[in-house]
Amino acid sequence: MLATFTNFFFQPKPSYPDSWKPAFLAMQLGFLAGALAVVIRSLLLFFSIEEWQQIIWWEITFASVVGIGFLLHTIGRAEVGILVASCGGVGSATAYILLLGWDPYFHVWYLNLAILLIAVPLKGWVKWSWASFFLLTDVVMFLFVSDLEPRIAAAPEVIQLLGVFNILGSLFLLGLPMAMYSHFLALERKKSESLLHNIIPKDLANILREGDGALALDNPNVSVMFADIVGFTPLASKLSAREVVDLLNNIFSEFDDICRKRGIEKIKTIGDAYMAVAGLPVARPDHAEVLVDVGFEFLEVIKKYQTENDDQLEMRIGIHSGDAVSGVIGKSKFSFDIWGDSVNLASRLESIGVPGAIHVSEETLGLLDQTSLEVIPQQSEIKGKGTMLTFFIRKNLSEGKAT
């Protein structure tokens, strides 16, 4: 039962506006704190003022209006609920001013409720018209009512206590929702930035956020890798959708961890292929060496995964080093990508590679320390390039390392 009660009052309903959700809990706590304040204030008046009946009657009347606003807010009618509750608050303040005078500082509620309406995500004309009405009421009360004698007498210490109570209470009513709303906005911003950095390198995301157009970078010395799981398409046709997604997720998650550890920029996955680049957004002289090392780690990872016939999965990898252009284009579902001849050649090397080896270009091989490598030269027919000298590389068995 407690869980049902908690969920009803402290979990936003499906109909609750998305733009209000960060402030839902704060608003609910504000309502409940206000209810507690009404009870304490009523007890104070009951024990300290002889003509308490008239005051308590108005207290109950406007507290009921605020309570209706609270229920409307709770069931998802946020805008109407806040406006109804604010009317109840203004009505209560007006009644207290007419009964007890200006000195107990009930007039601060006009200003604070106006600020609250401006702060919450109401429609512009609604918030400003209502807030202006509350402020105008404050001005009218100050000009025509502030000097009037109170209708009900109260001891000076009671008036002072009510004044302190109203000042602190109004600050709490404003401060709690705004503080929690700011906290939630900060969390949402952090979450959004984290998601953005999963799509775009952090340094480039900062540039893109401060700019006003497409982002384009020249990358004169990078190495590009394509890694493709051999025979995955026919294998996927024998698996359920869930099994396909789980398998790829497990493999590519391990690849992501390797890239993150090595400082390699993952570009994207294309079906069962994985694309990564070394040397951007920050240039590094060892871009070829580190990407080849990552390729060998990928080959070790893939050995852990088996087909339904207990055959090990295999992978082809192609790497080329050279120039490329990278950037972010588009307005929706944008992503960081890389283009150029180096990208095309790396893709071609992967497609004509062999499982268990890394197929590299002559440019990439020239940047490697070959002492620990088994290098097998090939005359490869590359689409759009003709015949080129390329190389299959494996870890050298003589170094005591597994292929």
Dump pLDDT digits (tens) for 103-160: 999 999 999 899 888 888 888 899 999 999 999 999 999 999 999 999 998 999 999 9
What structural domains and CATH numbers belong to the chain?
2-196 (no CATH), 208-399 (3.30.70.1230)
- Better-predicted residue by pLDDT, 237 or 262: 262
How many percent of the chain have pLDDT more than 70? 89
Q: Helices 78-100 and 124-144, interaxial angle, to 10°?
A: 0
- Is 335:328 a contact under the CB 8 Å cutoff? yes
Strand partners, 312: 306
Evaluate the CA torsion angle 92, 93, 94, 95 in order and state its sign. Answer: positive
Q: What band does 401 get if pLDDT is binned at 50, 70 and 90? A: very low
In one letter, which amino acid is 377? P
Looking at residue 331, what is its pLDDT?
A: 67
Tens digits of residue pLDDT in 5-30: 888 888 989 899 888 887 788 788 88
Q: Are 357 and 393 in contact (CB under 8 A)?
A: yes
Q: Is 391 exposed, middle or buried (0-12, 13-18, 19+ CB in 10 A)?
A: buried
Can you give the pLDDT at residue 205? 67
Q: Which two tokens stand for residue 359?
A: 């197929």
Mean pLDDT calculated for residue range 240-252: 90
* First CA to last CA distance, the chain: 62
Q: What is the pLDDT of residue 361?
A: 93
pLDDT at 403: 39
What is residue 243's predicted lDDT score, i.e. its pLDDT? 86
Distance CA 255, CA 262 (A): 11
Residues 6 or more apart whose CB falls under 8 angstroms from that of 197 comprise: 205
Distance in angstroms (rounded) separating the CA atoms of residues 367 and 397: 21
Region 56-62 average pLDDT: 92
